[in-house]
Structures are given as C-alpha cells and as structure tokens.
A and B are shown apart, each in its own frame.
Chain A
Amino acid sequence: MNPVVMHTVARMMAPVLLLVSLVLAVRGHDIPGGGFVGGLLAAAAFALQMVAFGRSAARRQLRVHPTRLAAAGLLVALLSGVPAMLEGRSFLSSLWGQVPLPWSDGLKVGTPQLFDVGVYLAVLGTAMSFILGMSRGEETTAPELGR
C-alpha cells in the first residue's frame, strides 16, 4: 500500500513545521516560545518524516548524528555564558548590543539569543536520539548510525 496522503502531508508540512519552530525560538525572548519549544517542534517535524518515510530517511534528513547535535547545542549554550565572564561578571550574565541595519533602527542581539540557539540544538538532538533510538530494530535492515 502506498500511503499517499501521509507522504504528501509529511512532505508539505516539513518546511512549515521547521519554519514555525524557528519563529517560536526567535520570538521566545520576550513572549511565549523559546529554544526549548522550538527544538521540540523541530523534533516533531523530523518525527513526522520518520512516520511517513521510515527511520533511515529521517536520520538522513537530520544529516548530523543526534547526540552530536545535542553536544553542539550544549557547547553553544555554555559558550554564550562565557563572554560575561571575560568581562568580569557572573557566568551567563546577559550582554546586549545593537546591530545597525540600513532599513530600520537596528537589531537587538545578545548572548541570551545564543543561549536559545544552543537550547534549540540540544533539545532537537536529544529528542531525535530518543525517537530514533526507540524505533531502532523496527526496520529489518538496521542502518549503520555511525557515531
């Protein structure tokens, strides 16, 4: 049987889900959202791919090994706290700055955003390693994960 509806929906929804996850992650600083929710939604997008096209397809689309993704996220989140330490303040103190933009007043950027990026990656990586790990063994030809 060819689950046409499932395949079509999964293919159409993937970019939407990923985009919404990014929107959630970016707006999270002042209003509901943030890296954690964004990461979960992104994991849901890949989980949908897994349901529709199988485990190895989802793993291929993720490109990076999930635990490495989680490690990278943890590292980014930790690094976001370090600049404050170099200035002699406490670890994770937020530093903010303005990036001047030609078409508007300027963009407020700071270390908490970097922290959110780290959380996003860490949550996506962890959730995907759970999801992919739990579905291991369902496919007869278990794909080599690599590390």
Chain B
Amino acid sequence: MMPSSALLSLPMILCLGAAAAGQLTPSRAWPRRWLALMTMVSVTAVGALLLVTVRRNGIQAAQMGGWAAPFGITLVADLLSALMVLVTGLMGLTVVSFSAATLPASREAGAYYPLVLVLVGGVCGAFLTGDLFNLFVWIEVMLGASFVLLALEARQEQLEASIKYMSLSLIGSVVLLCAVGLLYGVAGTLNLADLSVTVPGLGTPRLMTAVSMFFLVAFALKAGAFPLFFWLPASYHTPPAAVTTLFSALLTKVGVYALARVFTLVFTQDARFTSTLLLVMGGLTMVTGVLGAVAQYDVRRLLSFHIISQIGYLIAALGLMTRGALAALIAFLIHYIFAKSALFLVSGATARVTRTYDLHQMGNLYRTQPLLAALFFIPALSLAGVPPFSGFFAKLAIIQAALRTQHWVIAGTAVVVGLLTLFSMMKIWREAFWKAPPENQPQEPNRPLSLGDGVLGPCIAMTTFMVVLGVGAEPLLELADAAAGQLIDPTEYVRAVLRERP
C-alpha cells in the first residue's frame, strides 16, 4: 500500500508533470493524446485508491516538504475530497477521449492537452488542499488554464467571451485574495484545520462574519451563483463541446466545494445569518437559471443556464446545513456532474451531424440518429429529476432535507424548478429530435452527416453512470451520508491534520 502522503500528492504531480512532458514532446497529435489519456487513467486510479483508503482508515492528511501542520503545505483528503478527485479523473478521461474523437489533429498537436492537464491538476489541488492560500493558488492555476482553453481557437466570439470571462473571474480572484488576507490578519493562520480550532476563540464574531462574506462573494462568483453568474452564459457556449464539458463539469463545482468547505469548517459561528443568506441565494439562483434557460434557443446557452439553476440546488442544500442536506448536496453534485457532462457531450455530437447548435435549424434527429436520441433522453430526464435515474434520488434528498427543517419555500422552489427543467429539456427534445427538419435548411450535397468514430463512447459512459447511480442509488447515498458526517463534525478532520501538534 502506498503511503498516504504519496497518494495525496500524486494527482497534482501526475497532471502537472504530464502537462510539462506533453509540451516537451514533438508537436504531434498522438503522443500528447496518449499521454493525456494515460494520465487521466492514473488520476482516476489514484482517486479510487484514495477513496478506498479514506473509507477504510479515516481522513488522510500529509504535510508537503515535511513542515508540520499550520506552517507547511497541507494536503487533506476526507471522503468528499476523495470522491471529487475520483470524479475529476473520470471526467478528465471522458473529455480527453471525446476530444480525441472530435478535435482536428492540428488542435490536438498544440497546447490543448497540456492545458487540459493543468486544469485538471488545478482542480485536484483545490479539492485536496487543506490551506486557504493554497486553495487560492490552485483556483488560479485552474482559471489560468481555462482562460487559454477558452480562447485557443481565437475566433472573434471566443475572444469576446474570454474577455468577459477573464475580467469577471479576475475580480473574483481579487476579492478572494482580499478575503484570504483579511482572514490571515484576523486569525494569523490560513490552515483550514487550524482555523477551525482558533476562529471560535477569537471573540470577534462580527468581524468574522464580514470576512466570511468576502469568501461568499468570491466563491459564489466562481460557482456562478445568483447575482454573480453573468460570466457563465456569456462564455460557455463559445469553445468546442469538449472544453465546455470540462468547464461545466469541474470549474463551477470547485466554487461550490470551496463554499461547502469554508462554511462547514471555518465560518460556523453565525450559522443562522449565513444559512439564511445561502438559502435565499440558492433559491434565486435556481429560479433565475431556469428562467434564463427557458428563453434560449441555442443548445449550449440553454444548457449553460441550467448549470446555474443546478448550482442553486447545491447552494440551497448547503444553506440547510443539516447532515441530510449535506449528504444530498454531495449526491446531487456527483449526479449533476455526470448528467450535465452527458448533455454537453450529446450536444457536441448532435452538432457534428447538424453543423449547428441552433434549435430552429435542427430536427428529425430521432429518425436519423436513434442512439443519440436515447443518449440525450436519459440524462435529460435525469437532470429534470425523473425516476429511476440518478437525478431523482439526489433531488428527492434535497427536498426531503428542506421539508424536514421546515423550509417550505425552498422545497416548493426546488419542485417547481424541476418541472421547468423538464419543460426546457422537452423543448430540446421536441426541437432537435422530434420535429420535422426545417424546410429551408441549406442542403450541401456532399457534407458528411456521420458522427465519426469514438464520439458516442464517452456519451454512453456518462449515460451508463446515470443509470447505475439511479438504479443503485443506495451505495452513493450511503457514501454521501458518511462524507456529510465528516463535514458536519470537523473533529476528525482537525485531528488528522494537526496530529503532530501537542
């Protein structure tokens, strides 16, 4: 068995090392592609191993460089982190194989795969770090790679999108850096476990609430929550489908993860105020996201608005702050990463057939691509929360948690937003798959109408996850419950990190 310190640092070492090695290999498609594929396989394996280790032996912590806890570089894996690393590896694998099937060889030969690896490494780092400043750094690593990935093709709309995305993200980063600085000034430490111990004894609850609001704004911006989501629909529809899938699967989730981490571990004194704020924010995010989606006719913009509305569910679940709600949050997070990725991958696959993302221009795909239609139908129903797919159980758990704490408004909002989600999924189904093809469609006689090899593989994998997580929801919910237990009661986390301290 590998020591836990090696296991904890391996995802980042593998990703960054492979990114550097990939950039050093000759500029051809195949070495970079295979290097990226192999790395993602290893990251997935490490994530699985980490999950098994944490499940069996409790929370794992390691100090990079061997400097003891509050001073050194701490990496921690509780069940949530390990689960997220595993999912990140799986998503990386999916996206790399989808890129190999869809991107032109010239794009693959460039800096594309190294950037994807840097992004995945940054995401893994954000999930595993036990220190707020390192969290900031890993988020920057991830964002830096995403800026370049967004603008890699350098088309005009992409440059416009990346300017919006970059400027808003950088504002978020500045706020985050201010928050980190303020917290360090008040508490004198940035180690999460150490903060969890020292903050309650500081005797400045109002100041801590003020600092926590800085974190709330910064992470809510990264997550795409209610008043701060404008960058998301402005940018996510411009890059290739593989990149959009990667972004939607990982970037906003880091924001949600960070919110869950700081508001369960550090800022727990003023729980009533923060939880009310999170609930209001979550509810409004759900509603605005889904209403924005209803009006859209570009598949990718529509799905981007759904990212926002689903983020609302997660933030509302965090606002409930009970063990059941946090378990629901984790189950929903896992389900939703797979569901949304499946939908983006299918939208990329349909665009290969129809050459457009505009719903008006599509039609009749049910006849011409029956398998693709099935692959859209299952995640669409799952996202809307129809049984027996994973979304049903995840959404049910959130609504149950809301009812149990007598938050009727949130429960009602969640149900209504679920119905509206179903409505807009059915809109895609009707427009793209069901209706007769538009008559004025420009018919180019010799354009290829085939999908190409290997495009469906990743879509099938995602949809299979959806069915497996739906039919076999029990183990996932059990795991999520155990992870929520670790979030609610941070003593094990603190003990694992500060073991060496007297």
B274 interface residue per 8 A CB criterion? no
A147 partner residues in chain B, CB cutoff 8 A:
27, 109-110
Chain B at the A interface: mostly helix, strand, loop or mixed?
helix
Q: Interface digits, A44-82 against B, CB 8 Å rule (1 contact, 0 not)? A: 000000000000000000000001101110110011011
CB-CB < 8 A to A88: which residues of B? 3
B66 touches A78 (CB 8 A): no
**B20/A74 in contact, CB under 8 A:** yes
Stretch in B11-19, B250-258, B314-322, B482-490 touching the partner? B11-19
Residues of B within 8 A of A26 (CB): none
In the complex, which residues of chain A have a beta carbon less than 8 angstroms from the beta carbon of B9? 81, 85, 90-91
Bound-state CA distance A75–B117 (Å) is 14
Return chain A residues, CB-CB under 8 Å to B64: 81, 90-93
Query: B2 → chain A, closest Cβ, in Å?
Result: 10
Contacts of B102 in A (CB 8 A): none
A93 touches B65 (CB 8 A): yes
Q: Which residues in B have their C-beta under 8 angstroms from that of A79?
A: 17
Q: Are B66 and A71 neighbours in the complex by a CB distance under 8 Å?
A: no
Neighbouring B residues of A85 by C-beta, 8 Å = 5-6, 9
Residues of chain A lying within 8 A (CB to CB) of residue B20: 71-72, 74-75, 78
A74 touches B16 (CB 8 A): yes
Check: B63 CB closer than 8 A to any chain A CB: yes
The answer for the CA separation of A77 and B23 in the assembled complex, in Å, is 15
Complex interface: chain B residues within 8 A of A91 (CB): 5-6, 9, 13, 62, 64-65
Closest Cβ–Cβ distance, residue B30 to chain A (whole Å): 15
Q: Please, which residue of chain A has its CB at the minimum distance from the CB of B23?
A: A71
Q: Are A67 and B65 CB-contacts (below 8 A) given A78-B20, A91-B9?
A: no
Question: How many angstroms from the CA of A60 to the CA of B379 in the assembled complex?
Answer: 53
Number of B residues near A (Cβ < 8 Å) is 24
Residue numbers in A under 8 Å from B109 (CB-CB): 147
Q: Flag if A75 contacts B6 (CB, 8 Å).
A: no
- Of residues 88 through 109 on chain B, the ones whose CB sits less than 8 Å from some CB of chain A are 109
A75 touches B66 (CB 8 A): no
CB–CB A89/B66 < 8 A: yes
Q: Which one of B6, B19, B114 has the highest number of Cβ atoms from chain A below 10 Å of its Cβ?
A: B6
Alpha-carbon distance A119/B114, docked complex (angstroms): 18
Interface residues of B in 1-46 (CB under 8 A from A): 3, 5-6, 9, 13, 16-17, 19-24, 27
For B17, the chain A residues whose CB sits under 8 A away are 74-75, 78-79
CA distance A16 to B360 in the complex (A): 65
Q: Assess whether A68 is in contact with B62, with CB atoms less than 8 Å apart.
A: no
Chain A interface SS verdict (over half): helix
A90 to chain B: closest residue by CB? B5
**Interface presence of B163 (CB below 8 A):** no
Contacts of A89 in B (CB 8 A): 5, 66
Q: Is residue B111 contacting chain A, with contact meaning CB distance below 8 A?
A: yes
List B contacts of A92 (CB < 8 A): 64-65, 73
In the complex, are the beta carbons of B65 and A71 less than 8 A apart? no
Beta-carbon contacts under 8 Å, A79-113 to B: 79, 81-82, 84-85, 88-94
Q: In the bound complex, what is the Cα–Cα distance between A136 and B452 (angstroms)?
A: 37
Q: Which of B19, B24, B73 lies in contact with A68, CB distance below 8 A?
A: B24
Name the interface residues of B40-87: CB closer than 8 Å to any CB of A.
62-66, 73
Closest A-chain residue to B14, C-beta based? A78
Q: When chains A and B are docked, how far (Å) is the Cα of A74 from the Cα of B118?
A: 11
A75 touches which of B5, B24, B62, B65 (Cβ 8 Å): B24
Q: Is the CB of B13 within 8 A of A67?
A: no
A74, A81, A82, A90 pick with most chain B CB within 10 angstroms: A90
Q: Which residue of A lies closest to B26 (CB)?
A: A147
| Chain B positions within 8 Å of A90 at CB level | 5, 9, 62-66
The CA-CA distance from A19 to B66 in the complex, in Å, is 33
A92 CA to B20 CA, complexed, in Å: 18
Residue among A72, A74, A79 with the highest chain B CB neighbour number at 10 A: A74
Contacts of B13 in A (CB 8 A): 78, 81-82, 91
Contact B110 A78 (CB under 8 A): no
CA distance A60 to B5 in the complex (A): 43
> A79 to B18, alpha carbons, bound, how many Å?
12
The answer to whether A71 touches B6, judged by C-beta atoms less than 8 angstroms apart, is: no
Nearest Cβ on chain B to A63's Cβ, whole angstroms: 15
Identity of the chain B residue whose Cβ is nearest the Cβ of A112 in the assembled complex = B65
Once the chains bind, are B5 and A68 in contact (CB under 8 Å)?
Answer: no
Do B111 and A93 touch across chains, with their CB atoms under 8 A apart?
no
Cβ-defined partner of A67 (8 Å) among B3, B23, B62: B23
Which B residue sits closest to A115, measured CB to CB? Answer: B65
Q: Which residues of A contact B5 (CB under 8 A)?
A: 85, 89-91
Shortest Cβ distance from A111 into chain B, in angstroms?
Answer: 10
Nearest opposing residue in chain A for B17, CB measure: A78
Q: How far is A96 from B6 in the complex, measured between Cα atoms in Å?
A: 20
Which interface residue of B23, B64, B114 has the most chain A CB atoms within 10 A? B23
A106 to B63, CA, bound (A): 31
Determine which residue in A70, A71, A78 has the highest number of CB atoms from chain B within 10 A of its CB, and name it.
A71
Residue of A nearest to B111 (CB): A67
- Nearest CB of B to A23, in Å: 25
Inter-subunit contact A72/B24 (CB<8 Å) = yes
Q: List 6 extra interface pairs beyond A71-B21, A78-B17, A79-B17, CB under 8 A.
A: A67-B111, A74-B16, A81-B13, A89-B5, A93-B64, A147-B109
5 A-B pairs with C-beta separation under 8 A: A71-B20, A74-B20, A85-B6, A90-B65, A92-B73
A interface with B by C-beta (< 8 Å): 67-68, 70-72, 74-75, 78-79, 81-82, 84-85, 88-94, 147
Which 9 pairs, one residue from A and one from B, show the smallest C-beta to C-beta distance?
A71-B23, A91-B9, A93-B66, A75-B20, A71-B20, A74-B20, A147-B27, A92-B65, A90-B5
